[in-house]
Structure 1
Amino acid sequence: MANDKDLKEDEREYVMNSLTTSAERLNEVIVDLNVILSTGKQLNEKKKLVHFSKVVSDIQDSIRNILEKEQVNFKIDFKRVDEILTIKSYIYSIFYNLISNSIKYRRPNESLEIAIESYIVEKKIILTFQDNGLGIDLKKNGDSLFGLYKRFHKDKAEGKGMGLYMVKVQVEKLDGKISVKSELNQGTKFTIVLIP
Structure 2
Amino acid sequence: MPEGIPANESLVSYLFGKKDGIVKTPEWAEAICKVPASRIVELAREYATAKPAALIQGWGPQRHASGERIARGGTMLASITGNVGISGGWASGYGGIPRKFPMGIPVPENPVKESISIMNWTDAITDASKVTPENGLKDGEKLTSNIKLIYNLAGNYLINQQPDINKTKKILEDESLVEFIVASDHFLTECKICRHSITRDYFL
| Fold shared, TM-score > 0.5 on shorter chain | no
Q: Which structure: larger Rg?
A: 2
Q: TM-score range by the shorter chain?
A: under 0.3
Higher fraction of helix: 1
Provide TM-score, normalisation by structure 1.
0.22
Kindly indicate whether structure 1 or structure 2 has the higher relative contact order, using CA contacts under 8 Å at least 6 residues apart: 1
Provide TM-score, normalisation by structure 2.
0.21
